[in-house]
Structure 1
Amino acid sequence: MLFVVSRPGHTRCLWILLAGLCLLQTGCVSRRLMVQSNPPGALVLLEGEEVGYTPVAVDFTYYGTREITLIKDGYETLKVMQPVPAPWYQWPGIDFFSDNLLPHRVTDRRRLSYSMQPKQIPPSEDLLQRADQLRNESRLGP
């Protein structure tokens, strides 16, 4: 498209129009948390809500400490208070510009990886001894 500007007032309008179009093309910050586990296939709870099975990715809005729980049969349940610090361009004051005025989209991906421990199963003898002990205590009373 070719613009022919014949008057000085039209030039100013054209620049204002171009600046407005540039502002409409601004990007934003996309935040994504990716959780992996060894072994894979663990149920992931983020702040107590199910988000899927590892490996799983979920979008988030705010930075801070997140409660992440991993559950898998045959493995100890893993509960972690995971800090997710804000990058420098999301610090208060700067975040307005990175969220609203950057000419492109910024993607902040956080990859969290956890190793789960196999569940420790006590020997049958120990369980039977503990059961006998509890049974005897209940007969004697407090």
Structure 2
Amino acid sequence: MPRDGCRWSAWVALLAVVVLTTTGCVKRRMTIRTDPPGALVSVNGEELGPSPVSKSFTYYGDREVELVADGYERRRLVQPTPPPWWNNALTEFVTENLIPLTLRDEREFFYQLQPASTPPQTDVARRAEALRAQAQSRPPDPPPGLFEGLFSN
């Protein structure tokens, strides 16, 4: 009978070693795609590069995304990233530490950029003429007494 007890405790010890050494893992990754591709992507002020671009993340929550492309309107938005159903306050410890599998949470976001609106040619020409006239006009004289005492001997 003692041999069965030793065998049982050996299995329990082996199981404990396996559980403690094979911890769980969650890999989180977000990918941002744009139309047109190649827009410069920044997330929470960190420049990630041209789209499509991917980045690993640790925490769920809202992210501030900024997209910039030549000839397109700059786009700023807040992208929510809620946790999956298996990662909540009750199950997070188990999924992160005890399940001996790697869980993957891949998020993909797609954004359509709008072409930049250009003002009509007549407005551009009128603004250019106004700026040219302003640059060619003589600057106003300073108020009397503004520079008194600066250049005295």
TM-score normalized by the length of structure 2: 0.77
In 2, the alpha carbon distance for the partners of 1:118 and 1:29 equals: 39
In 1, the alpha carbon distance for the partners of 2:7 and 2:80 equals: 53
Residue identity matched to 2:114: Q
Q: Which of 110, 113, 137 is matched with 2:107 structurally?
A: 110
Aligned pair 1:31/2:38, yes or no?
Answer: no
Q: Which of 94, 97, 106 is matched with 1:97 structurally?
A: 94
User: Who is 1:13 aligned against?
Assistant: 10
* 1:48-67 alignment runs, 5 A limit: 48-67=45-64
| Aligned-partner SS, 2:106 | strand
**CA RMSD between the two structures:** 2.3
Q: What is the CA deviation profile of residues 26-45 of structure 1, one whole-angstrom value per residue up to 9, with x for unaligned ones?
A: 32111100100001011110
**Shift in Å, 1:7:** 5.9
Amino-acid identity (%) = 41
Structure 1: tracts of 5 or more residues without a match: none
Q: What is the CA deviation profile of residues 58-117 of structure 1, one whole-angstrom value per residue up to 9, with x for unaligned ones?
A: 000111110011111111111110111111221112111110111211100110000011
| Aligned-partner SS, 2:59 | coil
Runs of 4+ in 1 over 3 A off after TM superposition: 130-136
Q: Which of 117, 121, 139 is matched with 1:120 structurally?
A: 117
| Aligned-partner SS, 1:74 | coil
**Shift in Å, 1:6:** 4.5
Q: Which of 68, 75, 79 is matched with 2:76 structurally?
A: 79
**Shift in Å, 1:14:** 3.5
Larger deviation: 98-107 or 6-15?
6-15
Do the aligned residues in 1 keep the contact of 2:19 with 2:98 (CA within 8 Å)? no
In 1, the alpha carbon distance for the partners of 2:56 and 2:22 equals: 22
| Aligned-partner SS, 1:118 | coil
TM-score normalized by the length of structure 1: 0.82
| Aligned-partner SS, 2:86 | helix
When the two structures are aligned, how many residues end up with a matched partner? 135
Residue identity matched to 1:80: L
